[in-house]
Amino acid sequence: MTETQAVISQKKRFSMVWIIPIVAVLLGGWMAVHNFQNRGPLITIEFVSAEGIEAGKTHIKALSVDIGLVKSVALNKKRDGVLVTAQIQKQSSDLLRDDSQFWVVRPRIGASGISGLGTLLSGAYIELSPGSGSAGHDHFKGLNEPPLTPANTPGLHVTLIGTDQTSLNSGEPVLYRGFEVGRVEKTAFDTNKRQIRFSLFINAPYDDLITENTRFWNASGIAVKMDAEGVRLNSESVESLLIGGVSFALPDNLPPGGAVDDGREFLLYPDKESINHTSYKHTADYLLLFDSSVRGLLPGAPVTYRGLEIGKVVGISFDYLPEENLYLDNDYKMVPVLIRLTPAALTGNDTPQTIAAMQQRLEDSIAKGLRATLKTGNLLTGSLYISLDFLDHPPEADLQHIAGYVVLPTLSGGFDQIQNKITQLLDTINNLPLKETVLSADSTLKSIGSAATQADQVLAELDQLLGDEDTQNLPLELRNTLENLRHNLGGLAGDFSSGSPFYRKLNGNLDQLQKTLHSVDQLSVQLATQPSELLFSDPLPEDPLAGDNL
């Protein structure tokens, strides 16, 4: 009998040893998926330097709340800055807008005070100021300085155009009647326009105070004014006295004007007094052509309308004319003068619309007799200015255009007109036949003297005739007739003799007439060479200096 052997099979069992690794793998996978799903965007920020920034340590904050961490810091391709790579939390990704701002918070001392002292212990961090633009951006340019005005702050941005006499610094206050309503955000120099530009932000609701006719002036330091009332010192506030600032207000006797848009440009005046009598922003240039001398007219001379200053003389140069207009009969005949008019000086509205309105008014006024003339501003210095006014029956003229400028018609005036009238008068006197008249009168006087001599001779002959014995025997009537003739000839000879009063008076009048003609001739020559002698006497000798006679 055969023996069978039992087959023993072993059943495979799951080892509990694998539970822990499997759980670890599942947990790790879940954590990886969860981390991937909740991981925020990776962004890059450009900075000038990496001062205070460390990878893995420097946090990114918004309103002092952590929203990210710096992952790496490296130089950019041009080696002139650094690229900071940072991880932002997913729930904070909506803060990444195209106008969001980043800057490094560290201890700073500036015009607005001391900031960032808390970073002395905690270390520097990157602050994020969220913008209001489109979302989804991952590349930003960091700021070198913290913005004085956070993004989305309600208010108004304006730009001031400064001069050599005006200077402001970032962080200085913007004041209205001594109360701070904004800050100077940035200063820059525009190389293209050669202008100093200052960016200001006016906080709401004070931005409603800014209108078209608002004027800004430098409020730094102390304004000193000396007049008949004494010495007066003025300062906007203690803060502006220490750190400077800018103020604004409406000029005297000007309406507020309309509201302005964000980014509007204004002029920055050196002091408060300047806002009432300096130039306006919107101007228009015109060309004047004078056919007389413009000596005494200088750039900056006023242009007036019935005594009101409405512009300035910009320059006097033949460069304002194209080459084809320069010559007339091979000579420079018309002298071009460029003026700049400010219509707001008359209307009170410093807007672009006033330029077009003034252009139309000028066309209508020229048809009614408006002309530009040269006037004497100061008799002592001989300075001239330009006057725009309506004249009676001026020559007809129309608006012309030369080299892009509108040409206004002109007429001679002032001292030049007086000189022309005097010259015409002297020419008329010189053209009179006075010399011939004097010669004729002198000849007549000589004839009268000769007639008196002949009368004396006739009288002597009559005396001899009357004394003759034959004459005594004449009839009585004939003798009386001869006696009357002798008496009349004696009176005539006495009146026209060289020693008679009539002869002396007539001769004196002729001498005086000759002297007058000589004086008129000298005056004509003197005015032709020096016309100013009509108003000014010969210059006085200089005062003697001490020691000249020693």
Is the pLDDT higher at 152 or at 262?
A: 262
**pTM value surpassing 0.75:** no
The CA-based angle 303-366-320, given to 5 degrees, is 55
Give the percent of the chain with pLDDT over 70. Answer: 62
| pLDDT (average), residues 176-195 | 86
Structure token digits, residue 535? 């108003």
Contacts of 209 (CB under 8 A, 6+ apart): 176, 181, 202, 248
CA 462 → CA 402, 470, 483, distances in Å? 91, 13, 9
pLDDT at residue 85 tops 50:
yes
Provide the pLDDT for residue 33. Answer: 77
Is the pLDDT higher at 29 or at 524?
A: 29
Provide the pLDDT for residue 330. Answer: 41
Provide the pLDDT for residue 390. Answer: 87
What is the Cα–Cα distance from 96 to 137, expressed in whole angstroms?
Answer: 6
| pLDDT (average), residues 37-52 | 86
pLDDT at residue 497 tops 80:
no
In degrees rounded to 5, what are phi and psi of residue 544?
A: -70, 145
Provide the pLDDT for residue 207. Answer: 92
Provide the pLDDT for residue 69. Answer: 92
286: exposed, middle or buried (Cβ count in 10 Å: 0-12, 13-18, 19+): buried
| pLDDT (average), residues 156-179 | 84
Enumerate the domain spans of the chain.
Answer: 39-141, 155-276, 284-413, 431-534
147 confidence band (pLDDT: 50, 70, 90): confident
Give the CA radius of gyration of the chain.
50
Region of poorest pLDDT, from 10-24, 62-76, 382-396: 10-24
Provide the pLDDT for residue 91. Answer: 87
Average of per-residue pLDDT values in the chain:
75
Provide the pLDDT for residue 548. Answer: 47
Q: What is the pLDDT of residues 461-476, one digit of tens each?
A: 656 655 555 555 455 5
507 confidence band (pLDDT: 50, 70, 90): low
Region of poorest pLDDT, from 88-92, 114-118, 487-491, 517-521: 487-491
Is the pLDDT higher at 67 or at 411?
A: 67
Region of poorest pLDDT, from 127-131, 348-352, 415-419: 415-419
Length of the chain: 550
Most confident of 253-262, 447-456, 475-484: 253-262
Q: Which amino acid is at 64?
A: S
B/e letters for 204-239, b = 16+ CB within 10 Å, e = fewer, are: eebbebbebbbbbbbbbeebeeeeeeeeeeeebbeb
Provide the pLDDT for residue 70. Answer: 93
| pLDDT (average), residues 399-411 | 84
DSSP 427-443: HHHHHS-HHHHHHHHHH
Provide the pLDDT for residue 327. Answer: 44
pLDDT at residue 137 tops 70:
yes
321 confidence band (pLDDT: 50, 70, 90): confident
| pLDDT (average), residues 27-39 | 76
Contact 86, 67 (CB under 8 A): no
pLDDT at residue 367 tops 50:
yes
pLDDT at residue 241 tops 60:
no
187 confidence band (pLDDT: 50, 70, 90): confident
Residue at token pair 């702050």:
153
Provide the pLDDT for residue 75. Answer: 92
Is the pLDDT higher at 147 or at 424?
A: 147
> Nearest Cα to 492, choosing from 461, 465, 455, 460?
455
Please give, one letter per residue, the 3-state secondary structure of 479-509: HHHHHHHHHHHHHHHHHCCCCCHHHHHHHHH
3 state DSSP class of 186:
strand
Region of poorest pLDDT, from 238-252, 283-297, 408-422: 408-422
Provide the pLDDT for residue 71. Answer: 92
In sign, the C-alpha dihedral spanning 358, 359, 365, 371 is positive
Is the pLDDT higher at 382 or at 524?
A: 382
Provide the pLDDT for residue 483. Answer: 60
Provide the pLDDT for residue 84. Answer: 93
